[in-house]
Amino acid sequence: MGQERNLFQKSKPKHVWESRQAFGNLFNCFYALGMQAPDGSYPTRSRVWKRVYRCFAAIMYLWQLLMVPTFFVISYKYTEGMEITQVLTSLQVAIDAVILPAKILALACGLPLLRRGELHLAELDARCVRPEEHRRIAATVRFCNRLVWFYQIAYAIYSASTFVCSFLLGQPPYSLYLPGLDWRRNRRQFCAQAWIEFIIMNWTCLHQATDDVYAVIYLYVLRTHVQLLSERMHHLGKTIQDWDNQPGQKQVQEQQQQENDCDELQRCIQDHQTVLKFLNCISPVISRTIFVQFLITAAIMGTTMINIFIFANTNTKIASTIYLMAVTLQTSPCCYQATSLIDDCQNLSLAIFQCRWIGQNPKFRKLLLIYLHRSQEPMKLTAMKLLPINLATNLSIAKFSFSLYTLIKKMNLGERLNNGN
């Protein structure tokens, strides 16, 4: 008895994880950006703190939606005396910074939908009873929270590398228009402008990373529950084999087992409906933000490659290469998760077909046929119902940006500008 008790305690999870915990670091970032206060925070418990947080949120929205894009746009009126490398380094980031307000507004309007999706995740979590399922949820929670840190660190590395490389060249990172500062006047104003631009870009990168990583996290959590559902369907009815050689009440036991399998199948069908409800909550938000990103990714990648391969010096090439890698994080992981979700749906259909349906009662087989038919339709995501969100679209955008770079290179624009200077 003691050994059996120890084995049971080892198999039982010490802490039951919930899928919504995968969004912990993500919503902490939203909290820091003034987008939404999490449950239990000071703004949700005190009216005074709620007013303070609203004022903070208004300042953050005003800063990121209006001030930062304005600084970038006005700076191009003062490009005299600037090298083409400086202009391109600023331009490749300006495209992202100017379009970022559209992503912020789309995400801010979609936060209630994302929160509503947590209710459906709670229903799916309640179906996880086996230790293997709890371990899978725990692994998903850890991965998603670490992924937020990975995005933040990756974008911070770009910001820091651009600052260091530009500072060593005696130039501000982006040559923004900052009222009252002229970095060409003296060393003190140059240092002040460089550090202010560094702070501005770090805050912008925090926004950018948060807006880019949320879709990856939600799709990964969705994929986890689709995979868990596939495993339940794969093992459905397999326990009948345990009764084949038992004497006595074999027929009664098999009939009871068939009823249990039919009930389990109905629960799996309900799980599939819950998964679709969760998808309906997150897909409109992802659709809007990824569509905005699709519109500008080709221009950003094309401008960055032109800067790297035609104009940039060694220091600028390093910073721009890191930026190009950061740009790939804006669409590629989301497209990969969306493509993998389609594969998971196909595996779900195979799991339905591979369950033990032979020897089941007519009700079970009828439900199984209906479920198999409905599961044939994959969970596809689209960007504003115009572009499919998958790796093929991401590859097409990369090809277009490379074509843009090739066109500029064949025009010998670099030699013309260098000869003109």
What is the SS3 string spanning the chain? Answer: CHHHHHHHHHHCCCCCCCHHHHHHHHHHHHHHCCCCCCCCCHHHHCHHHHHHHHHHHHHHHHHHHHHHHHHHHHHHHHCCCCCHHHHHHHHHHHHHHHHHHHHHHHHHHHHHHHHHHHHHHHHHHHCCCCHHHHHHHHHHHHHHHHHHHHHHHHHHHHHHHHHHHHHHCCCCCCCCCCCCCCCCCCHHHHHHHHHHHHHHHHHHHHHHHHHHHHHHHHHHHHHHHHHHHHHHHHHCCHHHHHHCCCCCCHHHHHHHHHHHHHHHHHHHHHHHHHHHHHHHHHHHHHHHHHHHHHHHHHHHHHHHHHHHHHHCCHHHHHHHHHHHHHHHHHHHHHHHHHHHHHHHHHHHHHHHHHCCCCCCCHHHHHHHHHHHHHHCCCCCCEECCCEECCHHHHHHHHHHHHHHHHHHHHCCHHHHHHHHC
**Per-residue pLDDT averaged across 44-61, rounded?**
92
CA distance 371 to 349: 9
Q: Residue 7: pLDDT above 50?
A: no
pLDDT of residue 413: 62
Average pLDDT score over residue span 180-193: 88
**Range ranked top by mean pLDDT from 229-238, 249-258, 279-288, 324-333:** 279-288
Residue 16 neighbours by CB distance under 10 Å: 11
Contact 307/89 with Cβ under 8 angstroms? yes
Radius of gyration of the chain (CA): 27
Q: Is the dihedral of CA 240, 245, 251, 252 positive or negative?
A: negative
Q: Alpha-carbon distance 60 to 207, whole Å?
A: 10
User: Residue 246: pLDDT above 80?
Assistant: no
Across 274-300, average pLDDT: 93
For 120-179, the pLDDT digits (tens) are 999 999 998 889 999 999 999 999 999 999 999 999 999 999 899 888 888 888 888 888
Residue 55: per-residue pLDDT = 95
Q: What is the average per-residue pLDDT within 84-102?
A: 85
Neighbouring CB atoms inside 10 A of 368's CB total 23
In this predicted structure, the answer to whether residue 280 has a pLDDT above a threshold of 60 is yes
Q: In angstroms, rounded to a whole number, what is the distance separating the alpha carbons of residues 215 and 239?
A: 38
CB contact at 8 A, 32 and 206:
yes
**pLDDT > 70 in the chain, percent:** 88
Q: Which residue has the tokens 């590395």?
A: 157
Sign of CA dihedral 338, 344, 346, 349: negative
Other beta carbons within 10 angstroms of residue 299's beta carbon come to 18
Pick from 44-58, 192-206, 239-253: least confident: 239-253
Quote the pLDDT of residue 414: 59
Predicted confidence at residue 228, as pLDDT, reads 95
pLDDT of amino acid 11: 45
Amino acid at 72: F
pLDDT bucket at 313, cuts 50 / 70 / 90: confident
* Average pLDDT score over residue span 238-249: 54
Range among 94-98, 342-346, 406-410 with highest mean pLDDT value: 342-346
Q: How far apart are CA 84 and CA 350, in angstroms?
A: 56
What is the C-alpha separation between 185 and 396, in angstroms, rounded? 46
Mean pLDDT, to the nearest integer, of 41-64?
91
Q: Is the pLDDT of residue 261 over 90?
A: no
pLDDT(309) > 90: no
CA 31 – CA 45 distance, rounded (Å)? 15
Token pair recorded at residue 314: 């060694």
**pLDDT value of residue 5:** 38
165: left (phi over 0), alpha (psi -120 to 50) or beta: alpha
What is the average pLDDT score of the chain?
85
* 224 in Cβ contact with 136 (< 8 Å): yes
Model pLDDT, residue 249: 61
Q: What's the pLDDT at 419?
A: 57
Torsion, Cα of 50, 112, 21, 118 (10° steps): 140
Phi-psi region of 209 (alpha: psi -120 to 50; beta: other; left: phi over 0): alpha
